[in-house]
DNA sequence: CCCGATAGTTCCATTATTCAGAACTCAATT
DNA sequence: AATTGAGTTCTGAATAATGGAACTATCGGG
């Protein structure tokens, strides 16, 4: 901040500083409000946003006017509905999802269990699709959700596709939370990744939630501009370890089908 | 734009001009890309955005860096995945939806048909929730979608709650597309609205899609800061006109329950 | 009823970002 | 080699964002 330094930091060694000007500041606010677990008052936001009051007031006003935030009757701020509209379009037209869809259905038919499709986004997995058996689905509860990479089948599968440097960068940027007694640590994760690279399958053996297991396989574009995974998930009593092994191959096959679908396209327009 | 006018327009008679500065311009771009039915090249966007190239280039860069847009391998722009994450949080915590949820389930149980919850947003209805029977659900295909007001049960129900001036403003701002032979025109819509106001129920008799009917009832906050509706939808062969009448009351009851739920809260924090 | 406190809004000179146009690079076409 | 089309980078000038302070509204006691 002073005029005398600016020598050590300059090498843009720290590539994590976003350069998105006004938009970036607004997105920080949007994140604050959407990540809160209840609507926030002006003052609550003020406390965490580190902006002067006048500025914050105008920024929130703009976000609200655009429908990205909503002001409740009591003046508190909540995420706005415009986000839903934007997201539903984003989802409906997502190329990867469209290509994967039939393969997910086939995999669901074959296994009878829930099938997931997810992509790596930063240091999380975002679920893009979910095909369940016959129970009514609460879908938004899963799709679009950002979940940890180190304790989901899709997450680990995705990681396994990355070159070591990107892998390391991600692992070191994440704080590992212990969800169950089986949740991995950075070290055990690294070991597992190398297993996955050999076998082609990732497993989640109750690492995120007790009683839930899954088999996954990586899906990635040739240039690794994106990596993700497909998985079959179910209750531990049905997904015995033998079952997991049994479905490892079909899951891999589905992943391969999706990848070959991507190469052919929807691709270079028409 | 010249210095000599700026006299007639000043009375902000035209209140539709947004004042959201930089954000507004960026949201226009985001809308262009999300509304397109395939990814757009730089030049395509340039043609419709009416911005100088340099400017557009930076704006798209910012949107991309924030994950609101995505650049495909071939350089085209598509909606970004960050939208999904934001939307899923917005949905999960939506107060109205949370309050309505149990009533929607009850209504589904009672009727055995698909139940919808939607809110009015500008001149469209956005679906907030959907409870289906036992078929697997493709949920994003509906939730979050902005649909026309004049040919959906929820839309017409919502309209009926509005005072005439707002109703007129909306009706005159919409262009009526004829989806089926039963789709309403502005005039027939007005007549229907007054029926709905008397009976408390809106019907959709194959006005949007042939073979699909629905009964709906309005849900609104006391100050009309938001209006929406609940509906029961199903195939015409099951939803005979008698059935529609039979379910009119339960739907109204559900709407009332939701409204009384809103008055009590989740409301003034805790 | 008044006081003090807390919450939210408005104003405006200063400053930082964005703007617009032109010049430039790169690749594909002829 | 020359031309066109697509995308990127650069610049002073224009515009919008900033932040501090003054202002208003609302609430809870005493």
CATH of the domain at B48: 1.10.10.10
Whether B89 is covered by a domain: the verdict is: no
Mean pLDDT of B48-69: 94
Whether A1 is covered by a domain: the verdict is: no
- Contact residues, B window 63-92, toward A, CB-based 8 Å cutoff: 63, 65-67, 72-74, 76, 78-92
- List the one residue out of B144, B122, B123, B120 whose CA is nearest residue B216: B120
Kindly state whether residues B104 and B194 are assigned to the same domain. yes
- Averages of pLDDT over runs of 10 residues in chain A (270 residues) are 36 49 94 92 93 93 94 91 90 89 94 93 90 57 80 95 93 92 94 96 94 94 87 92 96 96 58
Whether B269 is covered by a domain: the verdict is: no
Whether A2 is covered by a domain: the verdict is: no
Q: Which of B65, B76, B85 to mutate to test the interface with A (most CBs of A within 10 A)?
A: B85
Kindly state whether residues A201 and A171 are assigned to the same domain. yes
Quote the DSSP letter at residue B10: G
Kindly state whether residues A28 and A64 are assigned to the same domain. yes
Domain boundary among B84, B118, B139: B84
What residues of chain B lie within 8 A of the CB of A65, using their CB?
18-20, 24
Kindly state whether residues B139 and B14 are assigned to the same domain. no
Please report the pLDDT score of residue B265 as a whole number: 57
Mean pLDDT of B217-233: 90
Q: What CATH number does the domain containing B114 carry?
A: 3.30.450.40
Residue B59 beta carbon within 7 A of nucleic strand C: yes
Whether A63 is covered by a domain: the verdict is: yes
Kindly state whether residues B223 and B138 are assigned to the same domain. yes
Residue count of chain A: 270
Q: Are A73 and B223 in contact (CB under 8 A)?
A: yes
Q: Are B114 and B166 in contact (CB under 8 A)?
A: no
Please report the pLDDT score of residue B245 as a whole number: 95
Judged by CB atoms closer than 8 Å, whether chains meet at A269 and B62 is answered as: no
Please report the pLDDT score of residue A16 as a whole number: 44
Using alpha carbons only, give the angle A25, A26, A31 rounded to the nearest 5 degrees.
100
CA distance B167 to B164: 5
Kindly state whether residues A105 and A230 are assigned to the same domain. yes
Top-ranked range on mean pLDDT: pick from A2-16, B97-111, B121-135? B97-111
Whether A270 is covered by a domain: the verdict is: no
Judged by CB atoms closer than 8 Å, whether chains meet at B74 and A268 is answered as: yes
Quote the DSSP letter at residue B238: T
CA distances from B263 to A39, A70, B159, B220, B256 (A): 17, 18, 21, 11, 11
Kindly state whether residues B244 and B136 are assigned to the same domain. yes
Domain boundary among B84, B118, B133: B84
Domain boundary among A33, A57, A84: A84
Please report the pLDDT score of residue B133 as a whole number: 67
**Alpha helix segments (H runs only) across chain A:** 21-35, 42-49, 53-65, 82-92, 95-111, 153-160, 164-173, 186-199, 241-264
Structure tokens at A14: 């720290």
Whether B1 is covered by a domain: the verdict is: no
Kindly state whether residues B114 and B71 are assigned to the same domain. no
Please report the pLDDT score of residue B151 as a whole number: 87
pLDDT in tens, B8-57: 333 333 344 457 889 999 999 999 999 998 999 999 999 999 889 999 99
B78: left (phi over 0), alpha (psi -120 to 50) or beta: beta
Residue B179 beta carbon within 7 A of nucleic strand D: no
Please report the pLDDT score of residue B134 as a whole number: 57
Please report the pLDDT score of residue B125 as a whole number: 93
Kindly state whether residues B256 and B139 are assigned to the same domain. yes
Kindly state whether residues B101 and B203 are assigned to the same domain. yes
Please report the pLDDT score of residue A14 as a whole number: 38
Structure tokens at B152: 């959906």
- Contact residues, B window 185-214, toward A, CB-based 8 Å cutoff: none
What residues of chain B lie within 8 A of the CB of A120, using their CB?
none
CA distance B159 to B161: 5
Tell whether the model's pLDDT for residue B3 goes beyond 80: no
Kindly state whether residues B173 and B71 are assigned to the same domain. no
Total of domains in chain B: 2
Kindly state whether residues A187 and A207 are assigned to the same domain. yes
Please report the pLDDT score of residue A146 as a whole number: 84
Range of the domain at B50: 9-84
Spell out the residues 6+ positions from residue B129 whose beta carbon is closer than 8 angstroms to its own.
Answer: B97, B100, B101, B104, B116, B117, B143
pLDDT in tens, B139-150: 455 677 888 999
Please tell me which of the candidates B19, B62, B126 has its beta carbon nearest to residue A21.
B62
Residue A55 beta carbon within 7 A of nucleic strand D: yes
Whether A4 is covered by a domain: the verdict is: no
């Amino acid at each position: 901040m002073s005029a005398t330094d600016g020598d050590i930091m300059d090498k843009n060694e720290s590539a994590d500083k976003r350069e998105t000007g006004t938009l970036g500041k607004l997105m920080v606010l949007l994140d604050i409000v959407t990540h809160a677990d209840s609507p926030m008052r002006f003052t609550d936001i003020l406390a965490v946003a580190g902006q002067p009051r006048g500025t914050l007031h105008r920024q929130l006003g703009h976000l609200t006017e655009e429908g990205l935030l909503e002001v409740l009757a009591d003046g508190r701020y909540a995420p706005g509905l415009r986000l839903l509209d934007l997201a539903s379009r984003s989802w409906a037209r997502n190329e990867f999802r469209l290509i994967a869809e039939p393969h997910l259905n086939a995999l669901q038919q074959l296994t009878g269990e829930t099938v997931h499709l997810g992509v790596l986004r930063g240091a999380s997995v975002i679920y893009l699709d979910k095909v369940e058996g016959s129970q009514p689905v609460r879908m938004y509860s899963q799709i679009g959700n950002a979940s940890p990479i180190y304790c989901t089948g899709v997450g680990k599968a995705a990681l396994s596709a990355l070159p070591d440097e990107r892998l390391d960068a991600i692992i070191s940027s994440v704080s590992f939370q212990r969800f169950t007694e089986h949740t991995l640590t950075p070290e055990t994760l690294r070991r597992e990744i190398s297993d996955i690279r050999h076998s082609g399958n990732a497993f989640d053996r109750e690492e995120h939630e007790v009683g839930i297991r899954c088999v996954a396989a990586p899906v990635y574009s040739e240039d690794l501009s994106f990596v993700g995974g497909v998985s079959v998930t179910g209750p531990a009593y049905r997904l015995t370890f033998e079952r997991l092994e049994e479905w490892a191959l079909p899951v891999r096959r589905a992943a391969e089908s999706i990848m070959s679908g991507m190469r052919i396209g929807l691709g270079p327009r028409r």
